[in-house]
Structure 1
Amino acid sequence: MFAGFCLLGLTACGGNGDAATEVTLSVLAANPAAHDGALVATEGVVRHFDDPLHYWIEDEDLNRVEVFPREEIAPHLGDMVRVIGNFEYSVTEGRRLTLESVDPLNAAD
């Protein structure tokens, strides 16, 4: 039983982003299929559009990745952030990242 608790504790500690691959937004935009299903870490400024409501991060060259869940990224609107999450690419849905973590780097100008 004790071994089971130890295993559970180790499992709970996993998924903290240590295994995330550092990828720039320009790489995700240029070759999204290569990272489909991967845990990635990237940086950008949080932007949004109201109709339909969606949030994304973008770089200076306007390379973009939509970010989910909206409730977790919305408080960082206008900020430069580092995100870690599961990246998905679909021809019909585009590039999207489901957050595991978001860390503000500094306020955007």
Structure 2
Amino acid sequence: MIPYMRPAGLLVAGLFALLPLSSCSNEEGVAEVPLPVLATRPVAHDDSRVATQGVVRRFEAPLHYWIEDEDLHRVEIFPHERIAPYLGEAVRVEGHFRFSPTEGRRLTLERVEPLGGE
């Protein structure tokens, strides 16, 4: 026999069921995704808004900027002129993530903020 649950009890149970999902994204619909996840499962986050962090690096020919972690997981950052001032710094970035087998992993910046202490 199934015990009777009041509507308030169902609501509380539903909210607890959704709690793990809410820890992955904020109220603006930006999912927190570590660089290793973006590097190993890029298709899962293609065409979505994400936030991640790493150290800004650059390569000259052809000129491009990316962020990377200590294990060299990388995501290219666009536009270059917005990320260039942070070269060598640890940053947190938010933006639109895209993956293409031919062009790789790229994030178009919406927001960048330096991280202290790294």
With the length of structure 1 as denominator, give the TM-score of the two structures: 0.81
How far the C-alpha of 1:77 sits from its partner, in A, is 0.2
Q: After TM superposition, where is structure 1 displaced by more than 2 Å over at least 4 residues in a row?
A: none
Corresponding position of 2:84: 74
Corresponding position of 2:69: 59
How far the C-alpha of 1:106 sits from its partner, in A, is 2.7
Q: Which amino acid aligns with 1:96?
A: R
Corresponding position of 2:114: 104
**RMSD across aligned positions (CA):** 1.2
Query: Which structure ranks higher in relative contact order (CA pairs < 8 Å, sequence separation ≥ 6)?
Result: 1
Corresponding position of 2:29: 19
Matched residue pairs, number? 92
Supply the distance in 1 between the matched residues of 2:100 and 2:31 (Cα, whole angstroms): 20
Supply the distance in 2 between the matched residues of 1:24 and 1:40 (Cα, whole angstroms): 9
Supply the distance in 1 between the matched residues of 2:60 and 2:111 (Cα, whole angstroms): 23
Task: Give the greater-gyration-radius structure (CA).
Answer: 2
Whether the 8 Å contact between 1:78 and 1:107 is mirrored in structure 2 is no
What secondary structure sits across from 1:106 in the alignment? coil
2:44 aligned with 1:34: yes
With the length of structure 2 as denominator, give the TM-score of the two structures: 0.75
Determine what percentage of the aligned residue pairs are the same residue. Answer: 63
How far the C-alpha of 1:97 sits from its partner, in A, is 0.2
Supply the distance in 2 between the matched residues of 1:41 and 1:68 (Cα, whole angstroms): 14
Corresponding position of 1:14: none
Question: Structure 1: which 5+ residue stretches go unaligned?
Answer: 1-16
Supply the distance in 1 between the matched residues of 2:89 and 2:117 (Cα, whole angstroms): 5
Whether the 8 Å contact between 1:79 and 1:107 is mirrored in structure 2 is no
Corresponding position of 1:47: 57
Bigger proportion of residues as strand: 1
Question: Structure 2: which 5+ residue stretches go unaligned?
Answer: 1-26
